Structure 1
Amino acid sequence: MEARGTTWRATGAALLGTIAFLAVPAASASASTRGDDIHASTRGDLNAAMTGEAFAHAKYRAYADQAGAEGMPEVRALFNRTAADELDEHFAEQARLTGLAGTDASNLRDTIRGEGYEATTMYKGFAKQAEAAGDTAAARRFNEIAADEAGHRARFERALRAIGGESGESAVPTDVTVKPEAIKAGLPQVSSPRTLENLRTALRGEALANAKYLLYAQQARREGRTALATLYQRTARVERAEHFAEQATLAGLVRDTRTNLREAIAGETDEGTRMYPGYARRAEAAGDGTAARVLSDTGRDELRHARAFSDALAGLEGRAAG
């Protein structure tokens, strides 16, 4: 699930604090919706796991595109299948345990809170730090994304008023334009370690927003709100295909496919042998038996992913040697 061995893992309290802010469900959701019967330590581990699974989904989609560009259709299919596992199985299971998705109203309040934080605090701060470090391209991108997030917040605020009865669902805005960005493989394009760390934080935030909004879109469809589902789906696509992609190039997220496979193997192996077993043990000790079983199963899945990636790499290297 996690990228590039230790390089792409969470680095420091600031990163974890930012992701925790983005991952916490809206406080207004009901206790049963939030899954308050889960111990705090289990909830923290599940939030961290969800962030990693969302990031893995977005990263592996990017790795799949790179494999396709290198003429490796089987590896591209493998990355895409694994990306789907991370989102549709692992993230979804963990989200159910934590009660991440509530009512449409609580989901909208959570979304407005997150978009507001990114627009007014996170990206503005990142831009100032990048400008001071001489990373002008990154600073410009951070400011552009902050403006986008402010626009998203305004649309979701209108949507909340609409479903609250002020104007009806017909007033939910769906005019979200997506401009997909191709991720360029290569080394980081910034000089400051702080800028690079901020890019990595932002990548996880955008990946998490993408996953959450797809989940919130499903909830909106269940409640019969087609326009709200469309708003969430289109915004989710902006977060991954535009914001994530733009910053992935700056951060040097994608390399050649053999390098991507090696790093995927290292990350999946670490999660299967260390991270998820540790989370499962803590959940079991806290009395969260269901969560412990889900976390253990996820760890086994990650080892299966590692084996599949290892087989793919061995096949590529065998063909190169022949």
Structure 2
Amino acid sequence: MSQAATAVALTLPADQPQTTHTATRALRAQTLSDLTVTMKGEAFASASYNLFGTEADREAHPATGKLFRATAQTELNEHLHQAAALAGVVGTNAANLRQAINGETYEHQVMYHGFADQARNDGDPEAAKLFTEIAADEGRHRDAYRTALTVVTTGRGTIPTPPKADTVPVPAGLPKVKAARTKANLDTAMHGEALAHAKYMLFAARARQTGNPALAHLFEGTAGVELHEHFASEAVLAGLVRTTKTNLNRAITGERNEATTLYPRFAKRATAVGDEAVAGFFRDTAADEAKHATAFQQALNQLH
């Protein structure tokens, strides 16, 4: 599916929610689950590759930095957007706000508090502090979205001012946590923050398309916090960014897994239940990821 096709799928009248690829039958639950896994993975790859590109520039490997950033854009603007269109992620402004409220509520009330408790018990106080701070942020995001939903549904009131991200730099370095459970929770959190950023940018585009720039600004501002503050802070503790050689090796491993194992399995499952359009997407994306792996391998071979 082309980027143009995705743009069309995301441009619908204000009162018409986005549908899945067929008007006659909803996607099977497993297919939707696989699309969600795909979106999390592609969002995480995009966010990670942008950081890897910055590190490559710092190490004086500009061509590799450019490759990382270009691949990051493909993962986000093609693969994730296509998966979101097939899954019907973007709906009306009200539906998008409700989806955002549900996600922020879970992170505020359940996920991050749980992660903080576990990190504290496992001897990772720095992670516990970060998780607690992010939980509070997500509560504020939820409250802002609730206010915005009231404005959208009643026509009364004012859309809240968008939050501003406190951008966190992510230098190369080892993990700053010790417990395996904390490391796993940081990975889960980073995938969630990357996906939230990507979805909120799609929701912002819908809001702007439907003549609501204030709501678009709210989604965009919150997306910036999720990526440049939350994801970045978690990436520092997780030691996400290493040397460019290590970053390339990790990228190659991930792309090859998607090309040879993950997406072919998803395609097979989608075909088995008759979700052919999604199966085709998975096959096409697998082919793209194989090309990414080859490009990253070539970049690795050229490192001095």
TM-score w.r.t. length of structure 2: 0.91
Output one character per residue of 1:149-173: Cα deviation in whole Å (capped at 9) or x when no partner.
Answer: 11111111111111112425xx111
1:187 paired residue among 174, 177, 201: 174
Distance 1:270 1:112 in 2: 33
The answer to whether the 8 Å contact 1:280/1:291 transfers is yes
Counterpart-to-counterpart distance in 1, 2:122 and 2:282: 40
Matches within 5 A, 1:110-149: 110-149=99-138
Q: How many residues align?
A: 287
In structure 1, the residue matched to 2:33 is 44
The aligned counterpart of 2:267 is 280
Shift in alpha-carbon separation, 1:32–1:142, aligned structure 2, 3 A: closer
Distance in 2 of aligned mates of 1:137 and 1:107: 33
CA distance in 2, matches of 1:146, 1:60: 26
* In structure 2, C-alpha distance between the alignment counterparts of 1:161 and 1:205, rounded to whole Å: 26
Instruction: Note the aligned Cα RMSD (angstroms).
Output: 1.5
Select between 69-78 and 98-107 the one with higher mean Cα deviation.
69-78
**Would you say the 8 A contact 1:90–1:298 is kept in 2?**
yes
Task: Describe the SS at the equivalent of 1:243.
Answer: helix
Identical aligned pairs, as a percentage? 47
* DSSP 3-state at the match of 2:178: coil
1:172-212 superposed Cα distances (whole Å, 9 cap, x missing partner): 11231111100121221111111111111101110110111
Pick from 153, 178, 183: which aligns with 1:196? Answer: 183
Deviates more, 1:32-41 or 1:101-110: 32-41
Q: Please say which of residues 219-228 and 29-38 is displaced more in the overlay.
A: 29-38
Distance of aligned partners of 1:79 and 1:272 in 2 relative to their CA distance in 1, 3 Å threshold: same
Output the amino acid matched with 2:165.
Answer: V
Cα deviation, 1:271-319, whole Å, max 9, x if unaligned, reads 1011111111111111111111111000000001001101111111xxx
In structure 1, the residue matched to 2:149 is: 160
- Structure 2: segments with no counterpart, 5+ residues: 1-14
Q: Quick one: which of 71, 85, 95 aligns to 1:82? A: 71
Q: 1:32 to 1:214 in 2, by over 3 A?
A: closer
C-alpha contact (below 8 Å) 2:17/2:90 kept by paired residues: no
Q: Who is 2:295 aligned against?
A: 308
Extract structure 1 runs of 4+ deviating beyond 4 A: 29-32
The answer on 1:33 being equivalent to 2:19 is: yes
Structure 1 range deviating more: 183-192 or 101-110: 183-192
- Aligned partner of 2:143: which letter? A
Matched, 1:61 2:30: no
What TM-score comes out, normalization by structure 1 length? 0.86
Which amino acid in structure 2 is aligned with residue 188 of structure 1?
A: P
Between the aligned partners of 1:34 and 1:310, the Cα distance in structure 2 is: 36
Question: Secondary structure in 2 aligned to 1:33?
Answer: coil
Aligned to 1:221: 208
| Cα deviation digits, residues 116-172 of structure 1 (max 9, x gap) | 11111111111111111121111111111111111111111111111112425xx11
